[in-house]
Structure 1
Amino acid sequence: MGTSVRVAVVQAAPVLLDREATVGKTVRLIEEAAGQGTRLIVFPEAFIPAYPRGLTFGTVVGSRSEAGRRAFARYWDNAVDVPGPATEAIGAAARRTGAYVAVGVIERAGPYRGSTLYCTLLYFGPDGSLLGKHRKLKPTGAERLIWGEGDGSTLTAIRTEFGTVGGLICWENYMPLARMAMYGKGVEIYLAPTADCRDTWQATIQHIACEGRCFVLSCNQFVTRQIMPADWEDLGPGPEVLCRGGSAILGPLGQYLAGPLYDREGILTADLDLDQITQARYDFDVIGHYNRPDVFRLIVNESPAVGFESVPRPEVVHEEEA
C-alpha cells in the first residue's frame, strides 16, 4: 500500500431536478478535482438530482395533497437508475481521470413506475466500474416520506491500493452500531456525505475520526433559495442560504486537514499520510486492543431484504394475444 494519497471533497449544488444537467456538472467537477492530482473524489448526499430541503410534498398526518403527489412524481422522474445512463457517464469520467469517485444519488429501486426511492452512495473505480453502493439504513425524520430504508447487504467497504474506503450517510453516523459495523470492515478512509450544516455536525465527524482512528471525508451541498425550482413547491419565506455547507477533511486524531468550508461552492483537497493511522491506533484500536469481544458482541445481518425488488416484473398479456 502507498503511504500517501491526495483526496478531495466537492461542495456544490446540483442543477436541482435536472438529472442530466447534474450528471454533466458532476463530470466537470470530477475532472476539475482530478486535475489537482486527487485519487479519491467524494460528492454530497443526494447530489443527483437533489436533496429536497424545505419541501413537504403536501403531507400532513392523515392526508396528502394532489400538488404534493405531483411534486413527488417529478422527483421520482429525475432519480437515478443503477445501473443506467447516469452511472455510465460518471463511470466514464472516473476512467478518464483514473480516480475513485463516490457520489450521493437518489436511486430508483426497480423498473416499474413509482418504485421505491433510496438515498444511496455509489462507489466507482478508476477503471470506470461501479464497485458498490450503500443505501441509507434509516432516513431521518420527514425523509421517511420519500425514501425507503436500506438493508445490511449494502454496508459497503471498498479495498483500494491505498487502503479501505467506506462510510455512512448523514445521520446514520449517529447510529453507534452502524459505525462499529464499518469499523469492523477495516475502514481507514471514512466517507460521511451529509445534508447537515449545523456546528454540531463538526463535532460528529471529529468524534468519528477519533473513535475510528481513521481519516474522515465529509461533504455537503451549498444551496441557495435562488436555485430552487420555483415551480416545484413553494418554500415560503425564509433565509436565502438554505444550506451553508461545512465540508471538511479530518485526520485520525480529529484534526482538520482542510475546511470546514462555508457559504460557497468549492473543492477541498488534502494529502493523507496513511502512516498516521498506525500512529493513532497505538493507544486506541476500536476493533482491536480497545475492544472487549468477551463482553460485547455485534451481530450484523448483511443478507438482502426480501421484497418487491426480488420479484420478477409481471408479464403483461394483451387481450388480442391471449
Structure 2
Amino acid sequence: MKSHLLTTTTTLTALAATSLALPQPNTLPHPKTLAERASLLTTTNPSNRTLDEIISSWDLTNLTLAAVRIPPVNWPLPMMNKDWDGVKLDLNGTVDLGIRLIEKAAAEKARVIHFPEVWFPGYPKGVINSETPNPWFEYHVKDYIENSLVVGSTNWNKLVQAAIDNSIYVGLSFSEKDTAHLYMAQSLISPDGEILIHRHKLRPSAQERDLWTDGKLDQIYAVSTPIGRIGMLSCGEHTSPEVTFLMQAQTEDIHLGSWPLTPDFGNETLTYESAEVITSLGRVYAILGDSIVVQASIGTATIFPAGSSAVWSQTVANVSFEEFPLVYRSFNATAFTNTTYNADGEVSWGTLQAVNQGFPEYIPQVQGGLVPWHEDFLGGLVGEEVD
C-alpha cells in the first residue's frame, strides 16, 4: 500500500521485547574518544530546559516521526544518474538544507527526524563501479573527502544546535572524516544536545569498502530514551545476520534505518537498488524486530509500523521533492515496553547458542576475508604513499 505523506496515529501493542543491555561504547577508532570530541562543541541550550521538561510538553500518545526523502545540495538527478562530471558537492549548503528540514519537521510537531545514508554531503552514486581503474575514485574522491563532515566542526555544531533549538531528536547519517579515515557514520542527537548514539557502518558494501573504513561491533547498540528504545543501522547492514541479530537482541521500539536512494517501483533491472528490494528489507526488519522502522532514503521513503502490519506511510520517488521533502507517521509511544531484553524471545542469548550449536559440522571453521577489520587511509585515497 502506497500513500503520499500519510499521517496516521496508530496504537501499538509492543510484543516480546528482546534486547541485551550493552554498554555504550566509550572508545572509537579515532585519535580522540567521542566524549573528548564532544567537549569541543560550542552549542547552547537557550531555554535551559532539561530533557524531561522538553518531553513533558509532548503528547506521547501521538508521537510523530519524519523521514527525509529530498536529495542534498548538488546531488545529481535524475535518481539513477551516476554521472558526476562537473558536479561539486556542497557540505555547507547541505548542512543549511538539513537545518531547514529539521525546522520544518519540528514545525509539523515531529519529535524525531532521520536522514538517508551519508546524506551529508550525499551518497556518491557511481562509487560501486566494475571498471578498473574506478573513474569515480579517479576524478571525485578528493572533493568527497573535502566535503565529509568532521565531528566537533562548525557544521557539526550547527546540526547539534538545530536539534536543541527545535527540541527534536535528530538522526544524522553522514560521511565522517577524522585525521586518517572516512567512515559511514550515524549519530542520534537528543533535543538537549546530548549525543546518544555515534556509530560507523560495520562493513561498507562492495566498493564502498575502498572508500570508507569499517566500523566496530561495539558500535551496534540501542539506547533507552523517554520516547522509547532507539537504534540505528545503515543500508546493507539490514542484510547482515550478525548486525541485525545484535541490534534486534537489544529491543528497539524505533529503528532508524538509512538508505542512500530508493527509485520508483517497477524497474526490474535495478536488482539490489530497486524499490521492491529496499522496502522489503524495511518491512521484514519491522516484523522480525517488532519495531517501527523509519526508512529514510532519497526518492521513496517509508515508515513501517512495528510487526506485520500491511499499512505503512510512504511517498514514492516521482513525487515532488520540494512539495513533499519529508514523510510523516504518528504512533502511540506510551504503548512501547521500553524493555532491554527478553530471555524468551526469538532474538536472545538462548537462540544465539542454538545457532552456534546447530551450525553444520561439515562447514570448515575458517574465518575468511570478510570479517577482519579493514581500513582506508585518506592519503591512500588520493594517491599518496601510506606507510
Q: TM-score, normalized by length of structure 2?
A: 0.63
User: What is the letter of the counterpart of residue 252 of structure 1?
Assistant: A
Q: Of 35, 49, 53, which aligns to 2:125?
A: 53
CA distance in 1, matches of 2:315, 2:375: 40
User: What is the letter of the counterpart of residue 14 of structure 1?
Assistant: P
Is there any run of 5+ residues in structure 1 with no aligned partner, and where?
222-244, 300-304, 310-322
Q: 1:288 to 1:191 in 2, by over 3 A?
A: farther
Q: Does 1:288 align with 2:357?
A: no
Deviations 1:241-271 (A, max 9, x none): xxxx221001112433310432242211111
- 5 Å matches for 1:295-306? 296-297=352-353
- 5 Å matches for 1:64-213? 68-110=137-179, 115-197=180-262, 198=274, 199-213=276-290
Deviations 1:173-194 (A, max 9, x none): 0012211111222211011110
* 8 Å contact from structure 1 (residues 157, 166) kept in 2: yes
SS of alignment partner, residue 259 of structure 2: coil
User: What is the letter of the counterpart of residue 77 of structure 1?
Assistant: E
CA distance in 1, matches of 2:246, 2:100: 34
Structure possessing the higher relative contact order (Cα contacts under 8 Å, 6 or more residues apart): 2
Which residue is equivalent to 1:240?
A: none
Number of matched pairs: 269
CA distance in 1, matches of 2:351, 2:328: 40
Shift of 1:308: 10
Q: Does 1:247 align with 2:328?
A: no
Shift of 1:290: 3.4
Shift of 1:88: 0.4
Which residue is equivalent to 2:70?
A: 12
More displaced 10-residue stretch of structure 1: 136-145 or 125-134: 125-134
Identity of aligned residues (%): 23
CA distance in 2, matches of 1:157, 1:12: 27
Is there any run of 5+ residues in structure 2 with no aligned partner, and where?
1-54, 75-88, 263-273, 357-372, 378-387
User: What is the letter of the counterpart of residue 47 of structure 1?
Assistant: W
CA distance in 1, matches of 2:104, 2:286: 27
More displaced 10-residue stretch of structure 1: 176-185 or 27-36: 176-185
Which residue is equivalent to 2:312?
A: 257
Deviations 1:22-58 (A, max 9, x none): 000000000001100011110111111110112468x
Deviations 1:50-78 (A, max 9, x none): 10112468x844x567x844521111011
Which residue is equivalent to 1:270?
A: 329
User: What is the letter of the counterpart of residue 289 of structure 2?
Assistant: G
More displaced 10-residue stretch of structure 1: 163-172 or 68-77: 68-77
More displaced 10-residue stretch of structure 1: 167-176 or 267-276: 267-276
More displaced 10-residue stretch of structure 1: 268-277 or 138-147: 268-277
Which residue is equivalent to 2:116?
A: 44
CA distance in 1, matches of 2:134, 2:283: 40
CA distance in 2, matches of 1:74, 1:289: 47
Q: 1:147 to 1:275 in 2, by over 3 A?
A: same
Q: 1:55 to 1:180 in 2, by over 3 A?
A: closer
More displaced 10-residue stretch of structure 1: 183-192 or 19-28: 183-192
Which residue is equivalent to 1:232?
A: none
More displaced 10-residue stretch of structure 1: 260-269 or 140-149: 260-269
Shift of 1:132: 2.5
Q: TM-score, normalized by length of structure 1?
A: 0.75
More displaced 10-residue stretch of structure 1: 175-184 or 1-10: 1-10
Larger strand percent: 1
* 8 Å contact from structure 1 (residues 183, 287) kept in 2: no
CA distance in 1, matches of 2:348, 2:127: 44
* 8 Å contact from structure 2 (residues 234, 257) kept in 1: yes
CA distance in 2, matches of 1:306, 1:218: 27
Shift of 1:307: 8.5
User: What is the letter of the counterpart of residue 92 of structure 2?
Assistant: E
* 8 Å contact from structure 1 (residues 246, 261) kept in 2: yes
User: What is the letter of the counterpart of residue 90 of structure 2?
Assistant: D
Shift of 1:295: 5.2
CA distance in 1, matches of 2:345, 2:201: 30
CA distance in 1, matches of 2:172, 2:124: 17
Shift of 1:9: 0.7
Which residue is equivalent to 1:214?
A: 291
Q: 1:73 to 1:254 in 2, by over 3 A?
A: same
Q: 1:10 to 1:295 in 2, by over 3 A?
A: closer
* 8 Å contact from structure 1 (residues 189, 215) kept in 2: yes
Q: 1:60 to 1:252 in 2, by over 3 A?
A: same
Which residue is equivalent to 2:98?
A: 26
CA distance in 2, matches of 1:132, 1:250: 22
CA RMSD of aligned residues (A): 2.9
Deviations 1:121-149 (A, max 9, x none): 12111012333212111111121121111
CA distance in 2, matches of 1:138, 1:286: 27
